[in-house]
Amino acid sequence: MSTTIAVLTGAGISTSAGIPDFRGPDGVWTKHPDQMSVYDIDLFLHNKEDREYSWRWQKESPVWNAQPGAAHKALVKLEQAGMLSLLATQNFDALHEKAGNSSDVIVNLHGTIGTSHCMKCHKQYATADIMAHLDEEPDPHCHRRLPYRGDMPCNGIIKTDVVYFGEALPDGAMEKSYERACKADELWVIGSTLEVYPAASIVPVAAQAGVPITIMNMGSTQYDRLATRLIHDDIAVALPKLVDETIAKG
């Protein structure tokens, strides 16, 4: 049996794909604290202007337009080698999906921008379809016809599946992450300050279960003391290298 690796990724894996992190020196919130309102569920639910702003911002932001980089592709290689048992991510940029990792291993702890839902009837939409018509419909609503309402359109508010502030994490996301992280031979944390809970708690939970932990992050994290290996290099270079070494060892 080859080694199995559980991976937790954060904003730092996507900075080289052109998406700034939130809390780093060039972070979105460091520079523009007002941008936090883009992902505020109360504002989104109650004000048309805030919904329009949130949709427009998401369409124009690099989160929507970015393409996976070398580090994302390295994790596809790890899965293809049969060694990746979990890819839990705090990112909602859908870059792990775009790179080619499978839904079997990906857990989007903070949701994803790739899909959207009607908040009333729960119909799923591809966010790409909604973005394509955003100029005509800046505050997207559900057009599904409801037979039980005389074929009237549902007209519910549509929202991307990004977890906004004030919303719960997707069902089962933490449970699956804890379970797979605790069963893995190693846990790798890639590009996260480990400040956001409950996502960060995967690290102490896995450590408690005796899983060796690698933290790859330019800056320090609050769980550095639990790590058996710390790598302070650029993820775009260091992760492909670590994956190749790990596959070579088997």
Does 234 bind ligand NAD (CB under 6 A)? Our answer is: yes
Does 191 bind ligand NAD (CB under 6 A)? Our answer is: yes
Does 196 bind ligand NAD (CB under 6 A)? Our answer is: yes
Tokens of 34: 């007002």
- Interatomic CA distance for residues 170 and 55, integer angstroms: 21
The answer to whether 120 touches 154, Cβ cutoff 8 Å, is yes
**DSSP codes joined into one string, 40-71:** BHHHHHH-HHHHHHHHHHHHHSHHHH----HH
Minimum separation from the CB atom of position 39 to ligand NAD (A): 9
Binding-site string for ligand NAD from residue 89 to residue 128, where x marks contact by CB under 6 A and - marks none: -xxxx----------------x------------------
Residues 6+ apart with CB under 8 A from 46: none
Does 170 bind ligand NAD (CB under 6 A)? Our answer is: no
Nearer to ligand NAD, 154 or 214 (CB): 214
Nearer to ligand NAD, 85 or 91 (CB): 91
Cis peptide before 198 (omega within 30 of 0): yes
Can you tell me which of 6, 11, 75, 182 binds ligand NAD, judged by CB under 6 A?
11
CA distances from 12 to 4, 95, 171, 205 (A): 23, 12, 25, 22
Exactly one of 32, 46, 96, 110 is catalytic; name it.
Answer: 110
**110 an active-site residue?**
yes
- Interatomic CA distance for residues 233 and 18, integer angstroms: 18
Binding-site string for Zn ion from residue 111 to residue 150, where x marks contact by CB under 5 A and - marks none: -------x-xx-x------------------x-x------
**DSSP codes joined into one string, 225-240:** GG-SEEE-S-HHHHHH
Q: In this structure, what are the phi and psi dihedrals at residue 232, rounded to the nearest 5 degrees?
A: -105, 45
Residues with catalytic function: 110
Binding residues: 118, 121, 142, 154
Binding residues for Zn(2+): 118, 121, 142, 154
Binding site for ligand NAD (CB under 6 A): 10-12, 14-16, 19, 21-24, 27, 63, 90-93, 110, 191-193, 195-196, 217-219, 234-236
